[in-house]
Amino acid sequence: MLHPANSYLDLAFLIPKHPPPGWQCPKFLIFFDDIAESIVVANFLPKRLPPKLCDKIVWFNADMLAEFREVESMKLKAGDVWGLCCTDLFGMGVDLPDIELIIQWKATCDLCTLWQRFGRCARKLSLMGRALFLVESKFFDAKRELRVVAVQAWK
Protein backbone atom coordinates (compact mmCIF):
# COMPACT_ATOMS: atom_id res chain seq x y z
CA MET A 1 0.00 0.00 0.00
CA LEU A 2 1.21 3.47 -0.81
CA HIS A 3 -1.39 5.34 1.26
CA PRO A 4 -2.64 4.96 4.83
CA ALA A 5 -4.95 1.93 5.00
CA ASN A 6 -7.84 3.94 6.44
CA SER A 7 -7.87 6.26 3.40
CA TYR A 8 -8.61 3.36 0.98
CA LEU A 9 -6.88 5.38 -1.73
CA ASP A 10 -4.95 2.31 -2.86
CA LEU A 11 -8.27 1.02 -4.23
CA ALA A 12 -9.02 4.19 -6.20
CA PHE A 13 -7.33 2.72 -9.30
CA LEU A 14 -10.51 0.70 -9.87
CA ILE A 15 -12.43 3.83 -10.86
CA PRO A 16 -10.72 6.48 -13.02
CA LYS A 17 -11.24 10.08 -11.92
CA HIS A 18 -13.26 10.89 -15.02
CA PRO A 19 -14.58 7.67 -16.55
CA PRO A 20 -15.26 8.12 -20.28
CA PRO A 21 -18.80 7.47 -21.52
CA GLY A 22 -19.47 3.76 -21.79
CA TRP A 23 -16.55 2.86 -19.51
CA GLN A 24 -17.08 -0.24 -17.41
CA CYS A 25 -15.01 -1.56 -14.55
CA PRO A 26 -13.79 -5.17 -14.77
CA LYS A 27 -15.86 -7.56 -12.64
CA PHE A 28 -14.11 -7.71 -9.26
CA LEU A 29 -14.20 -8.91 -5.67
CA ILE A 30 -12.39 -7.16 -2.83
CA PHE A 31 -12.01 -9.43 0.17
CA PHE A 32 -12.00 -8.02 3.69
CA ASP A 33 -11.78 -9.71 7.06
CA ASP A 34 -13.87 -6.99 8.64
CA ILE A 35 -17.52 -6.37 7.71
CA ALA A 36 -17.42 -2.69 8.72
CA GLU A 37 -14.38 -2.07 6.51
CA SER A 38 -16.06 -3.72 3.52
CA ILE A 39 -19.05 -1.41 3.92
CA VAL A 40 -16.85 1.69 4.19
CA VAL A 41 -15.09 0.79 0.91
CA ALA A 42 -18.39 -0.08 -0.79
CA ASN A 43 -19.45 3.48 0.05
CA PHE A 44 -16.08 5.05 -0.87
CA LEU A 45 -15.65 3.64 -4.39
CA PRO A 46 -19.05 4.65 -5.85
CA LYS A 47 -18.35 8.27 -4.90
CA ARG A 48 -15.83 8.22 -7.76
CA LEU A 49 -18.57 7.25 -10.23
CA PRO A 50 -21.26 9.34 -11.90
CA PRO A 51 -24.48 9.23 -9.82
CA LYS A 52 -26.28 6.92 -12.26
CA LEU A 53 -23.58 4.24 -11.74
CA CYS A 54 -23.31 4.37 -7.95
CA ASP A 55 -25.19 1.09 -7.54
CA LYS A 56 -22.52 -0.87 -9.45
CA ILE A 57 -20.39 -1.58 -6.36
CA VAL A 58 -21.97 -3.09 -3.25
CA TRP A 59 -21.01 -4.90 -0.06
CA PHE A 60 -21.71 -8.56 0.62
CA ASN A 61 -21.47 -10.09 4.08
CA ALA A 62 -23.13 -12.29 6.70
CA ASP A 63 -25.10 -9.38 8.18
CA MET A 64 -27.25 -9.22 5.03
CA LEU A 65 -30.46 -11.20 4.65
CA ALA A 66 -30.04 -14.37 2.59
CA GLU A 67 -32.52 -13.07 0.01
CA PHE A 68 -30.55 -9.85 -0.42
CA ARG A 69 -27.31 -11.79 -0.82
CA GLU A 70 -28.95 -13.95 -3.50
CA VAL A 71 -30.16 -10.86 -5.39
CA GLU A 72 -26.71 -9.23 -5.27
CA SER A 73 -25.03 -12.45 -6.43
CA MET A 74 -27.40 -12.63 -9.39
CA LYS A 75 -26.75 -8.96 -10.23
CA LEU A 76 -23.00 -9.64 -10.24
CA LYS A 77 -23.49 -12.70 -12.42
CA ALA A 78 -25.64 -10.72 -14.87
CA GLY A 79 -23.18 -7.80 -14.96
CA ASP A 80 -25.60 -5.36 -13.32
CA VAL A 81 -23.12 -5.05 -10.45
CA TRP A 82 -19.41 -4.64 -11.25
CA GLY A 83 -17.90 -5.50 -7.93
CA LEU A 84 -18.44 -6.68 -4.40
CA CYS A 85 -16.68 -5.61 -1.23
CA CYS A 86 -17.07 -8.90 0.56
CA THR A 87 -16.03 -11.24 3.31
CA ASP A 88 -15.39 -14.99 3.04
CA LEU A 89 -19.12 -15.57 2.93
CA PHE A 90 -19.12 -14.73 -0.78
CA GLY A 91 -16.66 -17.47 -1.66
CA MET A 92 -18.72 -20.21 -0.05
CA GLY A 93 -20.55 -22.15 -2.74
CA VAL A 94 -20.30 -19.40 -5.35
CA ASP A 95 -18.72 -20.22 -8.68
CA LEU A 96 -18.80 -17.28 -11.07
CA PRO A 97 -16.52 -17.96 -14.05
CA ASP A 98 -15.93 -14.37 -15.17
CA ILE A 99 -14.47 -12.54 -12.17
CA GLU A 100 -11.53 -10.64 -13.68
CA LEU A 101 -9.94 -9.18 -10.57
CA ILE A 102 -9.60 -10.34 -6.97
CA ILE A 103 -8.15 -8.01 -4.36
CA GLN A 104 -7.18 -9.02 -0.85
CA TRP A 105 -7.30 -5.96 1.38
CA LYS A 106 -4.55 -6.07 4.02
CA ALA A 107 -2.46 -8.95 5.30
CA THR A 108 -5.02 -10.27 7.75
CA CYS A 109 -5.69 -13.79 6.50
CA ASP A 110 -3.64 -16.96 6.39
CA LEU A 111 -2.10 -18.34 3.20
CA CYS A 112 -4.79 -20.99 2.74
CA THR A 113 -7.56 -18.37 2.91
CA LEU A 114 -5.66 -16.11 0.52
CA TRP A 115 -5.30 -18.98 -1.95
CA GLN A 116 -9.04 -19.75 -1.72
CA ARG A 117 -9.93 -16.09 -2.32
CA PHE A 118 -7.58 -15.75 -5.28
CA GLY A 119 -9.07 -18.96 -6.64
CA ARG A 120 -12.36 -17.13 -7.27
CA CYS A 121 -10.66 -15.35 -10.19
CA ALA A 122 -10.99 -16.28 -13.87
CA ARG A 123 -12.55 -19.70 -13.40
CA LYS A 124 -13.47 -19.59 -17.09
CA LEU A 125 -10.43 -21.05 -18.84
CA SER A 126 -10.50 -18.55 -21.71
CA LEU A 127 -10.43 -15.58 -19.31
CA MET A 128 -7.27 -13.95 -17.99
CA GLY A 129 -7.64 -12.79 -14.41
CA ARG A 130 -5.54 -10.87 -11.91
CA ALA A 131 -5.13 -11.24 -8.18
CA LEU A 132 -3.81 -8.34 -6.15
CA PHE A 133 -2.64 -8.48 -2.55
CA LEU A 134 -2.59 -5.01 -0.99
CA VAL A 135 -0.34 -5.21 2.05
CA GLU A 136 0.34 -2.54 4.62
CA SER A 137 3.80 -1.02 4.32
CA LYS A 138 4.61 -1.90 7.95
CA PHE A 139 5.18 -5.50 6.88
CA PHE A 140 7.85 -4.38 4.46
CA ASP A 141 9.35 -1.86 6.87
CA ALA A 142 10.07 -4.64 9.38
CA LYS A 143 11.84 -6.72 6.71
CA ARG A 144 13.83 -3.67 5.65
CA GLU A 145 14.87 -3.04 9.26
CA LEU A 146 15.95 -6.68 9.63
CA ARG A 147 18.10 -6.38 6.49
CA VAL A 148 19.77 -3.23 7.82
CA VAL A 149 20.46 -4.91 11.17
CA ALA A 150 21.83 -8.01 9.38
CA VAL A 151 24.13 -5.90 7.18
CA GLN A 152 25.37 -3.93 10.18
CA ALA A 153 26.01 -7.15 12.10
CA TRP A 154 27.95 -8.53 9.12
CA LYS A 155 30.29 -5.54 9.05
54 near 46, Cβ under 8 Å? yes
Asked whether residue 18 is domain-assigned, the answer is no
Per-residue pLDDT of the chain (155 residues; tens, 9 = 90+): 999 999 999 999 999 877 788 888 899 999 999 999 999 999 999 998 888 888 999 998 888 888 888 898 899 999 999 999 998 877 665 678 899 999 999 988 888 888 888 988 888 888 889 999 999 887 776 555 655 554 455 54
Asked whether residue 91 is domain-assigned, the answer is yes
Query: In total, how many domains does the chain have?
Result: 1
| pTM for this predicted structure | 0.84
Domain that holds residue 62: 7-12+23-153
Asked whether residue 77 is domain-assigned, the answer is yes
CATH assignment of the domain containing 90: 3.40.50.300
Asked whether residue 2 is domain-assigned, the answer is no
Strand-pairing partners, residue 85, are: 30, 59
